[in-house]
């Protein structure tokens, strides 16, 4: 039976079934959809007390994320088990406040726990479902974000660290779109972060390089990491060189490229500078005239050297490479070298002299300037060898020249003194010390005019110093104020400025020679000429007078008178002849042309002749010749020996009274014959004795007494005696007569 009520019921039933089917289909679809999602989906019933909430539904993914079966979660408190305790409490509070605020859904990150206790970072999206204004259910979608967190953290860390860095750090996706960049990237390129986030790698490089980007990305992906050099451009279009280290980073399913981009400009500049300085150093190194070496202090080996180093020693590069310092350094040994190098390393530097032996065996003097240097963190010893052989030689030459000068200075009679510009004594030679009668200490450093206060000389000294013009003076009188006893002395002196290379006066040299004696001699010579002329004229006057008288008065003269006049003339002629003879002898001595005509002689004969001659001059005196028997024969020039005796006898006659006896004696003594002439005349004081036998010496007493003479006789005696190899001297006392002695050497067989 079918009625409308049944039909209606049936229709309702079918409708409901349809809806139920529909619902079931939807639910199945939803469930399968939920199960296919990677996220965990948890539905939680919310009772009045939110802390009593229980899980109503979980999808399949919870098993993967929480490491448990689906059913283990159903009906349980969702968080108590799978959240950390503090998060559970916090999420209770959190939900309450969210519900009370009417929040529809919240999104947050927190740490959850897997079944095995391991925590993991999760992203949670919770939606609140309300029935009649009251929250009855929440649906949470939970995503495990461990991988993403790791990548983010790494990125974050780097970003933080490297935002400080000057290098650009960027991250791009695999198409080269920029997804991260540190501040340096923006700063160096002139873009804002926002601008850059919309840019692609292709916009960072110069236009001609854009086509390379894809290939490079491929390469990075393939190899995991890669290095490039490239040219980047800034916002303003300027280009700068960069080096890029890029690598791929996996972020879960995503892969990004992380790149560190370093601006090359500075490095390139540094490289250029380095290269330039390297080139400069090379040039200096190679072109230096000195040897330059680099030594490894550990091995003592020459690790680097320029061409000069081996050329100067005559080696080839190959030969030299094999050598160690002691192989050519004469002074060094292995041990000494090691110690020396150690010292240089310790003290930083050393300058010293040594000697190198060339391959050919020549020795060179070398000055070494060494320095410890560090190259790339390793210690080396850098050495410059300066060849100072020539310099040394020159120094030696200067030293020996100086020595020579010193020797000359010290051995000259010329007094030499060197003054500084303040006219203080700087140096003097020993003649100066002697001549000035000051000690060297009294002189050095003293102002000249403090010691020798002569105003007029001061002006001269200052003029020479200021004008640089030398002066020369002769026979300048000078009185030593501190030594008045020296009387007036005379000096030849020059004052010469000493100039440096540029002609500036550096000091003055005073050179002086005393001329007092020479002046005296000159005076004596003048006097002598006067005397000799006089001595010559006197006999000549007599001779001429006698002869003229005879010639004009002959008829009136008796033969006796004529005889007397002739004898007078003859006597004076003899004197004259004798005087001229003395003069001649002296000039021969002076001209070093005195030749002796020596022969064996009997002295008594010579003595006899001399006495005979003198007797004629002075008949009043008594003469006595005292000779012992067997007097040895002497070898002598008889005429010269006679002249000596005659001169001595003539003096004895001149300086003793007429009635006194004059004695000539001789006797052998040692290896010579001693001969003497003694008078009983006026004698000579000890003081005057010292002056005898000198040129042109006439003693005051003789001059005063008007005794004639030229001061020639004794000088001639001395010269002739010395020419015979003997000597002459006097013993005398004033008023007690004088005895002149002289010796003649005896021939070997005649000696006593």
Q: Which residues bind ligand ADP (CB under 6 A)?
A: 651-652, 655, 679, 681-682, 684, 692, 697-699, 701-702, 709-715, 738
Min dist CB 601 to ligand ADP, Å, is 24
Report residue 216 as tokens.
Answer: 């490079």
Helix (H) or strand (E) holding 553: helix 516-553
CA distance 258 to 162: 13
Min dist CB 587 to ligand ADP, Å, is 16
Q: Which of 292/712 has CB closer to ligand ADP?
A: 712
Min dist CB 711 to ligand ADP, Å, is 4
Q: How many CA atoms lie within 13 A of 485 on its CB side?
A: 1
What sign has the CA pseudo-torsion 170, 172, 178, 180?
negative
Q: Which of 61/582 has CB closer to ligand ADP?
A: 582
User: HEC string of 585-596?
Assistant: HHHHHHCCCCCC
Q: Which of 258/682 has CB closer to ligand ADP?
A: 682
What sign has the CA pseudo-torsion 295, 301, 307, 309?
positive
Alpha helices in 74-190 (DSSP H): 78-82, 85-101, 146-163, 183-189
Min dist CB 530 to ligand ADP, Å, is 13
Min dist CB 682 to ligand ADP, Å, is 5
Q: Which of 176/681 has CB closer to ligand ADP?
A: 681
Give one word for 362, left, alpha or beta, with left for phi > 0 and alpha for psi -120 to 50.
beta
Q: Which of 251/521 has CB closer to ligand ADP?
A: 521
Q: Which of 309/710 has CB closer to ligand ADP?
A: 710
The answer to whether 88 touches 106, Cβ cutoff 8 Å, is no
The answer to whether 320 touches 397, Cβ cutoff 8 Å, is no
Report residue 745 as tokens.
Answer: 């050497």
Report residue 158 as tokens.
Answer: 């780097």
Helix (H) or strand (E) holding 497: strand 488-499
C-alpha to C-alpha distances, 712 to 102, 683, 699, 733, nearest whole angstrom: 160, 18, 12, 22
**DSSP per position, 213-282:** HHHHHHHHHHHSEEEEEEEEE-TTS-EEEEEEEEEEEEETTEEEEEEEEEE-HHHHHHHHHHHHHHHHHH
Min dist CB 675 to ligand ADP, Å, is 15
CA distance 708 to 699: 11
Rg (CA), the chain: 68
CA distance 419 to 426: 5
Min dist CB 697 to ligand ADP, Å, is 6
CA distance 613 to 606: 11
The 3-state DSSP class for residue 306 equals coil
CA distance 285 to 259: 42
Q: Which of 698/724 has CB closer to ligand ADP?
A: 698
Q: Which of 294/710 has CB closer to ligand ADP?
A: 710
Do the bridges between strand 622-626 and strand 661-669 make them parallel or antiparallel, or are there none, so unpaired? parallel
Q: Among all chains, which residue has been given the structure tokens 């005296």?
A: 520
Q: Which of 44/728 has CB closer to ligand ADP?
A: 728
Min dist CB 739 to ligand ADP, Å, is 9
Q: Which of 329/650 has CB closer to ligand ADP?
A: 650
Task: Give the orientation angle of helix 638-654 with respect to helix 559-590, to 10 degrees.
Answer: 110
Q: Which of 713/745 has CB closer to ligand ADP?
A: 713
Min dist CB 539 to ligand ADP, Å, is 14
Contacts of 363 (CB under 8 A, 6+ apart): 330, 355, 356, 357
Find residue 456's DSSP bridge partners: none
The answer to whether 293 touches 383, Cβ cutoff 8 Å, is yes
Q: How many CA atoms lie within 13 A of 223 on its CB side?
A: 12
User: What is the total residue count of the chain?
Assistant: 752
- Phi and psi dihedrals of 519, rounded to 5? -60, -40
Q: Which of 383/676 has CB closer to ligand ADP?
A: 676
Q: Which of 239/529 has CB closer to ligand ADP?
A: 529
Min dist CB 725 to ligand ADP, Å, is 21
Q: Which of 632/709 has CB closer to ligand ADP?
A: 709
Give the CA dihedral 190, 196, 198, 203, nearest 10 degrees. 70
Q: Which of 363/584 has CB closer to ligand ADP?
A: 584
Please give the span between the terminal C-alpha atoms of the chain, in angstroms, as a whole number.
210
Quote the distance between the C-alpha of residue 46 and its chain's center: 97
Min dist CB 699 to ligand ADP, Å, is 3
Min dist CB 617 to ligand ADP, Å, is 13
Q: Which of 507/726 has CB closer to ligand ADP?
A: 726
Min dist CB 577 to ligand ADP, Å, is 15
Q: Among all chains, which residue has been given the structure tokens 């005087």?
A: 579
Min dist CB 527 to ligand ADP, Å, is 11
Find residue 128's DSSP bridge partners: 138
Q: Which of 435/681 has CB closer to ligand ADP?
A: 681
CA distance 491 to 472: 11
Q: Find the angle CA(296)-CA(302)-CA(307) to the nearest 5 degrees.
A: 140
Min dist CB 721 to ligand ADP, Å, is 13
User: Which residue number has the CB closest to ligand ADP?
Assistant: 709
Min dist CB 636 to ligand ADP, Å, is 21
The answer to whether 126 touches 103, Cβ cutoff 8 Å, is no
Q: Which of 246/652 has CB closer to ligand ADP?
A: 652
Report residue 271 as tokens.
Answer: 């490289």
Q: Which of 272, 278, 187, 198 is nearest to 234 (CA)?
A: 187
Min dist CB 519 to ligand ADP, Å, is 21
Min dist CB 538 to ligand ADP, Å, is 12
């Amino acid at each position: 039976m079918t009625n409308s009520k049944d039909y209606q019921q049936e229709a309702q039933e079918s409708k409901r079934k349809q809806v139920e089917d529909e619902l079931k289909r939807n639910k199945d679809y939803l469930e399968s959809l939920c199960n296919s999602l990677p996220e965990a989906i948890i539905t939680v019933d919310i009772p009045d007390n939110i802390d009593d909430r229980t899980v109503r539904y979980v999808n399949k993914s919870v098993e993967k994320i929480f490491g448990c079966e689906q059913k283990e979660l159903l009906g349980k408190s969702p968080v108590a088990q799978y959240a950390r305790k503090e998060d559970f409490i916090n999420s209770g509070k959190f939900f309450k406040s969210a519900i009370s605020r009417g929040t529809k859904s919240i999104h947050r990150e927190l740490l959850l726990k897997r079944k095995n206790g391991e925590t993991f970072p999760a992203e949670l999206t919770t939606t609140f479902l309300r029935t009649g204004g009251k929250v009855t259910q929440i649906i949470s979608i939970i995503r495990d974000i461990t991988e993403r967190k790791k990548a983010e953290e790494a990125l974050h860390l780097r970003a933080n660290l490297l935002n400080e860095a000057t290098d650009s750090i960027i991250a791009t996706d695999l198409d080269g779109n920029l997804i991260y960049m540190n501040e340096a990237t923006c700063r160096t390129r002139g873009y804002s972060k926002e601008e850059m986030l919309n840019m692609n790698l292709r916009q960072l490089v110069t236009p001609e390089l854009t086509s390379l980007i894809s290939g490079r990305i491929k390469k990075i992906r393939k190899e995991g990491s890669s290095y490039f050099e490239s040219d980047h451009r800034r916002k303003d279009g300027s280009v700068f060189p960069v080096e890029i280290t890029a690598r791929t980073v996996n972020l879960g399913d995503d892969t990004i490229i992380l790149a560190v981009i370093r601006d090359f400009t500075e490095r390139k500049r540094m490289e250029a500078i380095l290269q330039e300085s390297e080139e400069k150093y090379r040039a200096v190194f190679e072109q230096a005239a000195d040897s330059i070496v680099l030594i490894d202090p550990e091995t003592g080996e020459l690790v680097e050297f320029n061409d000069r180093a081996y050329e100067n020693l005559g080696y080839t590069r190959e030969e030299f490479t094999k050598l160690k310092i002691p192989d050519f350094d004469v002074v060094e040994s292995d041990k000494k070298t090691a110690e020396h190098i150690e010292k240089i390393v310790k003290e930083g530097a050393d300058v010293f002299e040594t000697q190198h032996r060339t391959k050919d065996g020549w020795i060179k003097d070398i000055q070494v300037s060494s320095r410890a240097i560090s190259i790339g963190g390793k210690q080396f010893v850098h050495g410059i060898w300066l060849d100072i052989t020539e310099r040394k030689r020159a120094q030696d030459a200067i030293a020996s020249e100086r020595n020579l000068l010193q020797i000359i200075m010290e051995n000259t009679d010329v007094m030499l003194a060197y003054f500084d510009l303040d006219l203080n004594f700087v140096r003097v030679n020993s003649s100066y010390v002697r001549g000035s009668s000051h000690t060297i200490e009294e002189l050095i450093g003293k102002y000249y005019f403090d010691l020798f206060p002569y105003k007029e000389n001061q002006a001269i000294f200052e003029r020479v110093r200021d004008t640089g013009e030398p002066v020369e003076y002769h026979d300048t009188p000078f009185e030593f104020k501190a030594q008045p006893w020296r009387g007036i002395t005379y000096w030849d002196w020059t004052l010469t400025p000493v100039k440096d290379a540029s002609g500036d006066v550096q000091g003055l040299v005073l050179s002086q020679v005393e001329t007092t004696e020479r002046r005296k001699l000159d005076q004596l010579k003048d006097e002598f000429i006067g005397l000799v002329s006089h001595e010559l004229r006197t006999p000549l006057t007599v001779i001429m007078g006698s002869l003229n008288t005879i010639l004009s008065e002959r008829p009136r003269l008796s033969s006796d008178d004529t005889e007397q006049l002739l004898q007078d003339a003859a006597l004076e002629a003899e004197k004259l002849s004798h005087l001229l003879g003395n003069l001649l002898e002296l000039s021969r001595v002076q001209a070093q042309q005195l030749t002796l005509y020596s022969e064996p002689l009997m002295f008594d004969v010579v003595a006899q002749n001399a006495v005979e001659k003198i007797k004629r001059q002075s008949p009043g005196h008594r003469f006595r010749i005292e000779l012992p028997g067997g007097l040895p024969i002497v070898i002598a020039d008889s005429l010269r020996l006679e002249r000596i005796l005659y001169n001595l006898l003539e003096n004895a006659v001149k300086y003793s009274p007429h009635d006194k006896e004059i004695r000539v004696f001789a006797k052998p003594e040692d290896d010579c014959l001693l001969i003497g002439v003694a008078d009983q005349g006026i004698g000579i004081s000890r003081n005057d004795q010292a002056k005898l036998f000198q040129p042109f010496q006439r003693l005051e007493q003789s001059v005063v007494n008007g005794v004639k003479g030229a001061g020639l006789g004794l000088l001639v005696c001395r010269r002739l005696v010395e020419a015979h190899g003997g000597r002459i001297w006097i013993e005398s006392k004033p008023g007690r007569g004088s005895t002149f002695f002289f010796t003649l050497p005896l021939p070997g067989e005649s000696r006593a």
